[in-house]
Chains A and B, each alone.
Chain A
Amino acid sequence: MSNYVILPILIPLLTGIILMFFSRNVTASRIISVVSSLLLVGVSGYLVHLVKVNGILTHEVGEWKPPFGIVLVADMLSALLVLTTSIIGLCCILFSFRSIGIERERFYFYSFVQFMIVGVTGAFLTGDLFNLFVFFEVMLMSSYVLIALGGTKLQLRESLKYILVNVVSSALFVIAVGFLYSVVGTLNIADLSVRVAEADQPGIVTAIAMLLFVVFAVKGALFPLYFWLPGSYKAPPSVVTALFGALLTKVGVYAIFRVFFIIFYHDPSFTHTIIGYVCLFTIVAGCIGAIAYWDVEKIVIYNIVIAVGVITYGVTLTTEAGVSGALYYLIHDMIIKAALFLLAGAMFTITGTHSAKKMGGLIKRHPLLGWMFFIAVISLAGIPPLSGFIGKFLLVQGAAESHSYLFMAILLLSSLVVLYSVIKVFIHAFWREPKLTAQEEKGSPKGLLLPIALLLALSVFLGVGAEMVSPYISDAAKTLMNPSIYIDAVLKE
């Protein structure tokens, strides 16, 4: 029963290992990947149910009691994020069948996707700071390979930068862990929370908290540290960018949530003020980028930056509405960013270009793709029946309750900018006179639309079925806002 928590890590790990033996047999690789992804979706769905019924599940690896052993913790937030990750993984794998190309498939593509999912689910489920570092590295190393796989000039150049930035931030993470260990003498998150509260050294603990914030801000692409993201995410094929955009930055955001809600809540007037301003600048910087470009992928990439800023601001909101809004927005954003990158990939498959100015009239021959893009656009902007609305609504409510009126204004204005930036793509690429005749099209989107439709259906469900989803989200928010629930569940006091 308690072993259940480890399954979302174990399934993709074993699949990744098995897939290494089938690298030359593409059909077998595809079947194994899909079966395992479906299994992972089922297992994580059941994990969400278990957490809902039984409260926080913990698994002490090797029967060592925390804080001495490594402990895996599935609270509602982790379980929901694992479920979202597994669904996005499944859709991206389905999309890659017809888009990634046989050469990449034969060179362990599916293995690396599985290993990246191991890193992401592991980072969501771990209850130990150094173990979080290790899962970060698992995730990052697979992403290094996925970004370079194929070896085009652009990919090589951008992967060098991507690796350099992440090596530096990983070294900073190690240093921060070392500092924290010397101050409190433990690495278990629940135990850290207890000891940080007891430790009578607020200055040094705040300094370490901000160092960790810098580390996670690099991973999550917050304002002064997002410089690496646009170039790196432009390089790999769309399906890899979809995986990165949906999962990698969000792990950084999750780590900020975990660390600042559970461990470092003792000096909010200093730490949370800085985080708040960093997030506001992030939103503004993302907005500028989203307006500036005509490249479909670049626009979506800057929309990631905006969303990361919006979600991370949730850390500073003190009411349950604000925090659940941020979590709702986090899950919505993971799904919709994956869908948008896949849509950009499908458009690239048809036109052979990423520039919205060079496309035109796609809706004549691809009405389904066009209207799917439209649904994704209005969901991203937060139009009422769809999923983006609820998250933004709760965030605005939370901001009003915590008197963060500046954030409220910037959030609402940024929604307009987001809507403008993507509707610009819709108008230029799907309306106007067609630029390509049926013969000139570079490829057909056949088979690419199913995974996008799955993601969009989920996004619509998150919006329309908000009544069904919100109890789960508010559970997650409650655990975050009361660290004692988490600590009691892990340390069993």
Chain B
Amino acid sequence: MEILMSIVSGILFMCATYLILSRSLLRVIIGTVLLSHGAHLMILTMGGLKQGTVPLLGENASSYTDPLPQALILTAIVISFGVTALFLVLAYRSYQELKTDDMNDLKGCEDDE
């Protein structure tokens, strides 16, 4: 199971890299979202996918899944949600101000000598 999950998150990383290297800003943002999906899936896999019940003490089971990676992912999800929201609004603002979403047109600095 871990091997399958590793391959899946590998594919996510691959798509993310491809999208981040593209010219349209929205594709880049979709790439960052896929990248964080890949990273979160990676933590879950790395914590181990052993059989066990949900980490709720009320279940009275003999074994539970590891709760720590789940807490880490929850933290990472809200952080990347916040950053993605900011990134999207910023992309919207720069579309309004700069009239383009092409990363190639966003090059350089006016006062470069």
Is B59 an interface residue, CB under 8 A from the partner? no
Chain B window 34-63, contacts with chain A (Cβ cutoff 8 Å), 1 for yes, 0 for no:
011011101101111000000000000000
Cross-chain contact B87 with A167 (CB below 8 angstroms): yes
Cross-chain contact B35 with A182 (CB below 8 angstroms): no
Cross-chain contact B113 with A294 (CB below 8 angstroms): yes
Which listed segment binds B: A173-181, A252-260, A332-340, A398-406? A173-181
Cross-chain contact A144 with B42 (CB below 8 angstroms): no
DSSP class of B's interface residues: helix, strand, loop or mixed?
helix
Interface size class of A (residues with CB under 8 A): 35 or more
Is A24 an interface residue, CB under 8 A from the partner? no
Distance in angstroms from A147 CB to nearest chain B CB is: 10
Chain B window 76-112, contacts with chain A (Cβ cutoff 8 Å), 1 for yes, 0 for no:
1001101100110011011001100000001001110
Interface size class of B (residues with CB under 8 A): 35 or more
Query: Which A residues touch B110, using CB under 8 A?
Result: 154
CA distance A167 to B86 in the complex (A): 11
Total A-B contacts with CB atoms under 8 angstroms apart: 105
CA distance A354 to B93 in the complex (A): 27
Query: Which B residues touch A415, using CB under 8 A?
Result: none
Chain A window 213-250, contacts with chain B (Cβ cutoff 8 Å), 1 for yes, 0 for no:
00000000000000000010010000000000000000
- Given known contacts A175-B42, A178-B69, A151 and B82 CB-to-CB distance under 8 angstroms: no
Is A121 an interface residue, CB under 8 A from the partner? no
Cross-chain contact A134 with B111 (CB below 8 angstroms): no
CA distance A170 to B82 in the complex (A): 13
Chain B window 5-33, contacts with chain A (Cβ cutoff 8 Å), 1 for yes, 0 for no:
00000000000000010000100100010
Q: Other CB < 8 Å A-B pairs besides A141-B83, A171-B35, 4 of them?
A: A164-B32, A170-B80, A171-B32, A234-B109
Counting from the closest, the 6 A-B pairs by CB-CB distance are A182-B46, A178-B43, A178-B46, A156-B94, A174-B39, A171-B39
- Residues on A facing B (Cβ under 8 Å): 130, 133-134, 137, 141, 144-145, 148, 151, 153-154, 156-157, 159-161, 163-164, 167-168, 170-171, 174-175, 177-179, 181-182, 187, 231, 234, 293-295, 354-355
- Residues on B facing A (Cβ under 8 Å): 20, 25, 28, 32, 35-36, 38-40, 42-43, 45-48, 68-69, 72, 75-76, 79-80, 82-83, 86-87, 90-91, 93-94, 97-98, 106, 109-111, 113
24 interchain pairs, CB-CB under 8 A: A134-B79, A141-B82, A141-B86, A144-B86, A151-B97, A153-B98, A156-B93, A160-B25, A160-B106, A167-B83, A168-B35, A171-B35, A174-B40, A174-B42, A174-B43, A175-B42, A178-B45, A181-B68, A181-B72, A182-B47, A187-B68, A293-B113, A294-B113, A295-B111
